[in-house]
Amino acid sequence: MQPRQAQNKTIEIIGFPVDLGAGRRGVDMGPSALRIAGLDSKLAALGYNVIDRGDLKIKIMEAQNIGDRRLKYMREILKTSEVLAHKVFDTLERNNFPLIIGGDHSMALGALGGISAHCVKNDLTLGVIWIDAHADMNTHETTPSGNIHGMPLAAALGYGYEKLTNFMGITPKVKPQNVALIGLRSIDPGERQLLKDLKIPAFTMPEIDKLGIHRIISKILNQFREKVDHIHVSFDVDSVDPTLAPGVGTPIPGGLSYREAHLLMENIAECGCMSSLEVAEVNPILDNRNQSAEFTVDLIASSMGQRIL
């Protein structure tokens, strides 16, 4: 199998300003912060045709009930995630590249819902590279917070509350052998057990220190190119060290360095096999003069082919 090339394509930007899945406010302004940081112009300068589809409308916390405290704001998250899923599906069916910008990481429910629907329709095998300080593999039974942004990967794998796992009528959306996690440094007990049970390749920051980010991502991409058709990259900005990107809801010290983050994205671009990208958790309220958004835009550009020479 050979994943579809991302280069020489039209990029459709889809904003998903959700903060319902997180424990802190402000991340709903992430899409605006990325646009202010010059996302469109950076991508256009690389030769892409860029279409900004704007932001989806999401009801704010104050206008609705929290619901089950193990699954906070699930009703609205699922409702808006379905709209996102259809937009992502339509983008892929047009043979364009979806760039989904958020918003907290509950956005992955909609992103992976649309991508998996496209893969099922076209008989494609989905692979997911999850770059995050957290595994996002809690369920309603293991979550310490009830925040759904800590559950989307478990749901995509078929674990958790039925309305999450069976979202878009597809479960699982991705198989464990076609998932890899990079940058982990904060994992809850239930997530740790599920990772072990499913034998998912998961590279913590100590392992990145020992092995090097180039060796890790090269190994993952080489394996994926042999067994999947569509590679989706889900990038949570809290994977980066907070000295570089302080504007995230859950900053954890000891994350990816400037060069590690860019080298990771540059390797993905060199592979030419990324078919969709989502970027989560930019929170301008916690940021310093839009530093995190500007850094993130540069990382997105690196993943799409920007180079020093």
Q: Residue 250: its pLDDT value, please?
A: 85
Q: What pLDDT digit, counting tens, does each position of 165-216 carry?
A: 999 999 999 999 999 999 999 999 999 999 999 999 999 999 999 999 999 9
Tokens of 117: 């629907």
What DSSP line would sit under 18-35, residue for residue? --TTSSSTTGGGHHHHHH
Which 3 state secondary structure label does DSSP give 131?
Answer: strand
pLDDT value for 3: 57
Residues of the chain short of pLDDT 50, as ranges, are 5-8
Q: What pLDDT does 6 receive?
A: 47
3-state secondary structure of 236: strand
Task: Give pLDDT, residue 4.
Answer: 52
Percent of the chain with pLDDT over 70: 97
Of 99, 101, 133, 134, nearest to 115 by C-alpha is 99
In contact, 136 and 12? CB cutoff 8 Å: no
| Neighbour count for residue 102 (Cβ, 10 Å) | 33
What DSSP state is assigned to residue 87?
H
Q: Domain segments of the chain: what residues?
A: 10-303
CATH 3.40.640.10 fits 10-303, yes or no: no
Name the residues annotated as catalytic.
Answer: 105, 132, 134, 136, 149, 236, 238, 281
Instruction: Please say whether the dihedral angle defined by the alpha carbons of residues 194, 238, 118 and 79, taken in this order, is positive or negative.
Output: positive
pLDDT digits (tens, 9 = 90+) for 219-230: 999 999 999 999
Angstrom CA distances, 274 to 98, 162, 180, stand at 11, 29, 14
Q: What percent of the chain has pLDDT over 90?
A: 92
Query: Which residue, chain included where needed, has tokens 């900053």?
Result: 251
Q: Which residue has the tokens 């090097």?
A: 212
Whole-angstrom Cα Rg for the chain = 17
Distances (CA, A) of 179 to 49, 58, 233, 270: 30, 29, 10, 20
Which residues lie closer than 8 Å to 47 by C-beta, 6 or more apart? Answer: 8
Separation between Cα atoms, residue 144 and residue 141, nearest integer Å: 9
For residue 224, the model assigns a pLDDT of 96
Q: Across the strands, what pairs with 181? A: 130, 202
Helices first, then strands: H and E counts in the chain: 11, 8
Predicted local distance difference test score (pLDDT) of residue 23: 80
pTM of the predicted model, to two decimals? 0.96
CA-wise closest residue to 182 among 292, 265, 270, 99: 265
Please tell me the distance from the alpha carbon of residue 134 to that of residue 32, in angstroms, as a whole number: 24
